[in-house]
Amino acid sequence: MQSFTPPKTFNQAPWCFNGHAHTVFCSLLFSAPALHSERQLIDTPDDDFLELDVVDKGKNCPVAVLFHGLEGNSKRYYVARLARQLIHQDFSVVLVNFRGCGSKMNRQRRFYHSGETEDIETVLQWVQKQYPNSPIFSAGFSLGASALLNFLKRHGSNHPLQAVAAISTPFELKRGSLNLEKGFNKIYSIRFLRTLTKKIDIKRKTYPDLPIFSGSTLYDFDDQVTAPIHGFESADDYYGRCSSYYFMDQIKTNTLIVHSKDDPMCPYKWTPIKEIENNPKLTPCLPDQGGHVGFWSLPPGWLELTVANYFKSALSNRKHQQIHAGN
């Protein structure tokens, strides 16, 4: 996408003095705007369901499908704020709740993970049926970005997405998991584990044979619970097979990569810069500040506007190509 130029500057809020400040302050102080969406439950091929929040701008408008991060949901500020900007730009939006992250516990044993692709495929098939004449775009945050990149790698060019944005991606899953046990990052790990263990305890009432978590870290949880439930041999097997660090050169879809250089949860040093820069389908946008899915800018909205402008640029390119083909 030659017509899109990432913004050269990111003017951070002065009180966001480091990556942790961006990450924590945005999470605590940013509220999710009201989107007036409609909740849709869609079936999955394995007799489960997914909860979607949909804002319909019309059957001929472009559609953006948004995926949240680990233990997030469609109501998280970062998802809703991007949705609001896209709605303002006349996109319909579909905000996806991964299994067990919506208002109801899902039916099957499985939950979701960083390499999930089947549920993404189910959502996109539903979107295609609902909006047969609309170009489709997608953005993922953190774990959602990792899952989206795994989907792109698995499907090559055989999917309906026109362009994608991957924001604050945990490119190297094992290093990122272990990094959450260091220093202040332990706060994030404790928060994730609190809700993850609560969910597995609830689900054990239906499936008594589910693994029992006896560890104290996110790595332990992935090794004892995530891996066996989702068909991996171990945490290392899961991380190795799903880490986008190792396949960014294989992505064949126009993708905006947004990652701050002070991300405390997914450190920039594990971003595969060379592979990203050498892949013409990928557009890096790597500000010095922003934290993890935070990006508190002055004026506010830098991240949302950057992603929306990228999608609008892809939309413009698509229309230009259609006109050229028609001639």
299 prior amide bond cis, ω within 30: yes
**Among the options 20, 22, 259, 292, which is catalytic?**
292
Pairing of strands 92-97, 136-141: unpaired
**Among the options 53, 263, 297, 313, which is catalytic?**
263
C-alpha dihedral, 180 to 121 to 5 to 279, nearest 10°: 80
Q: In what order do the strands lie in the sheet with 92-97?
A: 38-43, 49-55, 92-97, 63-67, 136-141, 161-167, 255-258, 282-285
HSE toward the beta carbon, residue 30, CA cutoff 13 A: 24
**Among the options 142, 177, 243, 244, which is catalytic?**
142
**Cβ atoms within 10 Å, residue 206:** 11
Q: Is 292 a catalytic residue?
A: yes
Q: Is 263 a catalytic residue?
A: yes
- As beta bridge partners, residue 297 has 12
3-class SS at 4?
coil
Structure tokens at 320: 């230009």
Q: Is 142 a catalytic residue?
A: yes
Catalytic sites, residue numbers? 142, 263, 292
